Amino acid sequence: MTDILEELAWRGLIAQSTDIDALRTALAEGPVTYYCGFDPTGPSLHHGHLVQLVLLRHLQLAGHHALALVGGATGLIGDPRMSGERTLNDRDTVAGWTDRLRAQISRFLDFDGPNAARMVNNLEWTAPLSAIDFLRDVGKHYRLGTMLAKDTVARRLASEEGISFTEFSYQILQGMDFLELNRRYGCTLQTGGNDQWGNLLSGAELIRKAEGRSVHVLTTPLITKADGTKFGKTEGGAVWLAPDMMSPYAFYQFWLNTDDADVVRYLKVFTFRTREEIAELERAVAERPQAREGQRVLATDVTALVHGADAAERVERASRALFGRDDLTELDAGTLGDAVAELPRGTARVGTDTVVDLVLAVGLVQGRSAARRTIAEGGLYLNNVKVTDEDHVLAPEDLLAGRWALLRRGRRTLGVIEAV
C-alpha cells in the first residue's frame, strides 16, 4: 500500500496523532479498520463534517476498512459546548435526523464490493446497557481528575451555568464506542476534528485499560481562511450538506466565491485532484486569476461529491446562464428557482409593466431617466437578450418557467422579476 499518511499530510488533513510512526507502520501493514462518528444533533451535516468524510474516503481508497458511525445514542446527549447547556431533542426527532445523516454519509463511501464500508449506530449497544453495567464495566476505567481537566468541562465548570452530569458523561459514551467497535470489528483507528482530541483519547485510553491493547487516534486541523478567520460561514449560517437546507446552487456558489489565497489549499483538502492537477491549477490561479479556474474546479468537484454529478452539472450550467454564457430557457424550474433565490427581486404585471418599470422594481438603477439611459447605452439585458426598446411590455413569453424574468445591467449586476 502507498504511504497514505504522507498523502494526507500533503493535503493538510493531519493535525495530531497518538503515535504517527506506529500508525504509519500499521497502515503499511494493513488493512486497518477505522471509524469516525457523526452525531445527529441537527438535521444535516455541514462543511466541518465534510473534512472527516473526505478523510474517510481517502483511507478507504487506500484499501483500509471504513466504519461510519451515526450516533443515535450520543446524539440524544450532545457533545458539551464551550458555553450553555444543549437542549435535549426528543427521541423521534433524533431518530429522524439519524436517518438523514446516514443518507448523506452514504454518498462518500463505497458500501459494496470486497472493501465495503459499514454503517453503524451506537444506539445498538448503548440502549440495552443498564446503568449498573455502564458504571461497573465502563465507568470504573475513568478517573474524575482526567475528565475534569478536559478544556470544555473545565470552562463550563468555571461558568455560572456549570455542566450537567448528562453532558459530562458524553466523553465516556464516545470512548465506549471505540471500545465496542474494537471488540466487534477490530477497529484500531478513530479519526475526528482536532477539537475532538480529548474525546478521541478517551476511547484509546479505555481500550488500553479494558483490553490491554494500543490503538490510534488521528485528527484533522480546523480549516481556516488565509487571514486566520473561520471558514464556512455564510449569511444564512453554516454550509449545510442537505439540499433542502442549502440548495446545490447556493452550495456551488459558496465554493465558487473562494478567495484566490485559499483556493489551492481547499483543492487539496476537499477534492481528490492529483498533485499534478492541483499544481496546474495553482499556476492558473497565479497567472490568470481573472479566469478563476481553480474556483470553478473546486466548486464543481465538491458539489458533485456532496450532491452528485448531475446536480453539479445543472448548477454549473445555471451559473453560466445567469451571466449570459448559457441558455436560460434550458434550466429546469427547480434549478432556476435556486439560482435566482438570492438575487434582488421585484414583481411586475404581465401585459402592463414595461422594462423601465422592471428595472425600477428590482432596483438596478435609481429613477426612470437612469433606466432609459442604461437601455439607450445597450447596458440592459432581459433573459440575457439586449433590450433595445424602452417601451417593451413584459409578455408571457418573457417568463422563464412561466414565472420569472431575469434582468442584467452590464456584465454582473443581476435582478429577478416575479410575475404577479
Q: Which of 261, 42, 78, 285 has its CA nearest to residue 167?
A: 78
The 10 Å Cβ neighbour count of residue 260 is: 13
In angstroms, rounded to a whole number, what is the distance separating the alpha carbons of residues 171 and 160? 22
- The number of angstroms, rounded, from the C-alpha of 37 to the middle of its chain's C-alpha atoms is 15
Question: Does the CA dihedral 252-256-261-266 come out positive or negative?
Answer: positive
Q: Which residues are annotated as a binding site?
A: 35, 170, 174, 233
Residue type, 148: L
Using CA atoms, how far residue 333 sits from 84, 120, 400, 404, 414, in Å, is 42, 38, 8, 10, 18
- The number of angstroms, rounded, from the C-alpha of 150 to the middle of its chain's C-alpha atoms is 27
Residues in the chain: 420
Give the cell for residue 68: 461510519
Q: Are 64 and 32 in contact (CB under 8 A)?
A: yes
Helices (DSSP H) in 106-150: which residue ranges? 123-126, 131-133, 144-149
E strands of 211-280, at which residues? 216-220, 233-234, 237-238
> How does DSSP classify residue 308?
-
Using CA atoms, how far residue 415 sits from 331, 335, 339, 342, in Å, is 17, 16, 11, 9
Q: Which residues are annotated as a binding site for L-tyrosine?
A: 35, 170, 174
In angstroms, rounded to a whole number, what is the distance separating the alpha carbons of residues 406 and 387? 12
Q: Which residues are annotated as a binding site for ATP?
A: 233
Give the cell for residue 175: 470512548
Helices (DSSP H) in 30-90: which residue ranges? 47-61
Q: Are 258 and 266 in contact (CB under 8 A)?
A: yes
Within 13 Å of residue 160, how many CA atoms lie on the same side as its CB?
A: 0
Tell me if residue 266 falls in helix, strand or coil.
helix
